[in-house]
Chain A
């Protein structure tokens, strides 16, 4: 569907995108992940033909985005990071304006707008000025604009940025729904979101691709250790010493105290050992009741940090493990 070959963008000495090669396959939702300033937006701007590349090409269904711009652009719906809205227009006026720019025949415009409005549930605000609608709605108008004329590909640059949690969930559902009919590429710096939505993830940092894989594989590939989260009643030191004696255990650390009398522990062990049974029997023998035990997979966040080298392995793990449970 989309082929990106050797895509490079240089601003003077700064390399915003460095020899990127990847494809977006038909029907998939592809995640494009990277910290702020990694080159996500730049790459997307080149892919949509807003900005030419310094080197390399983007082919949309075999059509070059620069040389066959007219045809190629028709296949793409693009939502930039800040939704490109005229605040002095009503939602319907705006959608009509974009329809005309997109060469949608006059006769079909009404129907196409109708479709976009109902798809993104904008009925209630369609006659209001964009200035006066909430940020969540504005973001949806931005998406509505992109799906006008039913392009095969949607390129969404951080579509949930600045929304409140409820709006984020709604937006995510909408994107998932649109994913049934469109090939989608979505950028984000929020890993959870990508994890939820995407079958495949590209991680980029400083303009370079660091990994392309499914979210699950990425977690697996990088986890050299499995983690066990425990809540055990009893003396801290004794518990730690007992666990340390179990073969395969790499490290034990205390996370803190949540329930009275008990402590929460974080145990890292080799992947080829399953230490859970031993923990159960040893604790039982020592008279320390286990209140909770669960294995925690490495989150995408950690994988991401490892790959982009922003953090040491195993650091900053705790909060992520917990927030995933919510």
Chain B
């Protein structure tokens, strides 16, 4: 666990020494701020639902940027040869990386606390749904990051890693469309893996244990696959 912290610290430094974290956070805040402003002005309501939906959609584009370099760079520069000839475990390594990206993501969300703040000034926001909305955002973000990390483990190229994770996320997002064409059991399956479908509950103030378990399972599966890919490559 100690070494997870070592990897985590290094990764955080690397995010904030380079412009990457600042740029992503800025872009996110500009766009989400714009979406917040227009939706509030348009609806004149103190609900955060639409704002949350917008943020999740935005993450489909931003999280691949945040995660694409996580595992490609060490491989490209041969640093993995150092890492895996020390007593560092692959799980510790992957966890450190995941937590670092997750922290940057969380920092990003913290900035958006100003939106409920604005609502508080001009109206009476429903804090229950806001809190559950944020919990939902954290979980969905966790899934996106684990998908991104997995994509990053597949290749030495940042661009390809970014595209693959973007592709996976976009496909999941578009699953909703399939629902109207499919029927019977297929619809049930699609609904089961449609991450965005689960998010509506959180948005509306419902903390569904089922949804939480689904999200956590997604995270677990993708992180596990990532460790397998890294291990496998060395055993090949």
Interface residues of A (CB under 8 A from B): 11, 45, 48-52, 69-70, 73-74, 76, 78, 80-82, 84-86, 88-89, 93, 97-98, 100-103, 145
Min Cβ gap A143→B in Å is: 12
Verify if B209 is at the interface (C-beta below 8 Å from A). Answer: no
Task: Please tell me if the beta carbons of B79 and A50 are within 8 angstroms of each other in the complex.
Answer: no
Task: Please tell me if the beta carbons of A97 and B6 are within 8 angstroms of each other in the complex.
Answer: yes
Task: Please tell me if the beta carbons of A103 and B87 are within 8 angstroms of each other in the complex.
Answer: yes
Question: Taking CB as reference atom, which chain B residue is nearest A80?
Answer: B81
Task: Please tell me if the beta carbons of B234 and A51 are within 8 angstroms of each other in the complex.
Answer: yes
9 further A-B contacts with Cβ under 8 Å, apart from A70-B87, A78-B82, are A49-B85, A50-B81, A51-B234, A80-B82, A82-B78, A84-B77, A84-B83, A97-B10, A101-B88
User: How does the 8 Å CB contact mask read for B59-83 relative to A, with 1 for contact and 0 for none?
Assistant: 0000000000000000001111111
Task: Please tell me if the beta carbons of A100 and B3 are within 8 angstroms of each other in the complex.
Answer: yes
Question: Taking CB as reference atom, which chain A residue is nearest B81?
Answer: A80
Task: Please tell me if the beta carbons of A50 and B87 are within 8 angstroms of each other in the complex.
Answer: no
Bound CA–CA A100/B93 (angstroms) = 13
Q: Name the residue in B3, B17, B85, B86 with the highest tally of chain A Cβ atoms < 10 Å from its Cβ.
A: B85
Task: Please tell me if the beta carbons of A88 and B85 are within 8 angstroms of each other in the complex.
Answer: no
Which residues of the other chain, B, contact A100 by a CB distance below 8 angstroms? 2-3, 6
Verify if B14 is at the interface (C-beta below 8 Å from A). Answer: yes
Bound CA–CA A50/B80 (angstroms) = 9
Bound CA–CA A81/B82 (angstroms) = 11
Which residues of the other chain, B, contact A49 by a CB distance below 8 angstroms? 84-85
Task: Please tell me if the beta carbons of B78 and A84 are within 8 angstroms of each other in the complex.
Answer: yes
Task: Please tell me if the beta carbons of B234 and A52 are within 8 angstroms of each other in the complex.
Answer: yes
Task: Please tell me if the beta carbons of B78 and A81 are within 8 angstroms of each other in the complex.
Answer: yes
Some 6 contacts from A to B, beta carbons below 8 A apart, are: A73-B86, A74-B87, A84-B80, A86-B10, A86-B14, A98-B82
Bound CA–CA A86/B235 (angstroms) = 25
What interface size band does chain B fall in? Answer: 20 to 34
Within 8 A of A (CB), among B83-99: 83-88
The residue that B87 contacts in the complex, of A45, A84, A88, A102, with Cβ under 8 A, is: A102
Which residues of the other chain, B, contact A69 by a CB distance below 8 angstroms? 87
Verify if B18 is at the interface (C-beta below 8 Å from A). Answer: yes
Which residues of the other chain, A, contact B44 by a CB distance below 8 angstroms? none
Bound CA–CA A82/B82 (angstroms) = 10
Question: Taking CB as reference atom, which chain B residue is nearest A45?
Answer: B81
Question: Taking CB as reference atom, which chain B residue is nearest A76?
Answer: B85
Bound CA–CA A84/B10 (angstroms) = 15
Task: Please tell me if the beta carbons of B86 and A84 are within 8 angstroms of each other in the complex.
Answer: no
Which residues of the other chain, B, contact A93 by a CB distance below 8 angstroms? 13
6 shortest interchain CB distances as A-B pairs: A84-B82, A100-B6, A84-B79, A101-B86, A80-B81, A48-B85
Which residues of the other chain, A, contact B235 by a CB distance below 8 angstroms? 51-52
Task: Please tell me if the beta carbons of A73 and B85 are within 8 angstroms of each other in the complex.
Answer: yes
Task: Please tell me if the beta carbons of A80 and B78 are within 8 angstroms of each other in the complex.
Answer: yes
Contact A145/B85 with A52-B235, A101-B3 known, Cβ cut-off 8 Å:
no
Question: Taking CB as reference atom, which chain A residue is nearest B18?
Answer: A88
User: How does the 8 Å CB contact mask read for B1-42 relative to A, with 1 for contact and 0 for none?
Assistant: 011001000100110011000000000000000000000000
Within 8 A of A (CB), among B183-236: 234-236
Which residues of the other chain, A, contact B13 by a CB distance below 8 angstroms? 88-89, 93
Min Cβ gap A242→B in Å is: 59
Contact A101/B87 with A52-B234, A88-B18, A89-B10 known, Cβ cut-off 8 Å:
yes
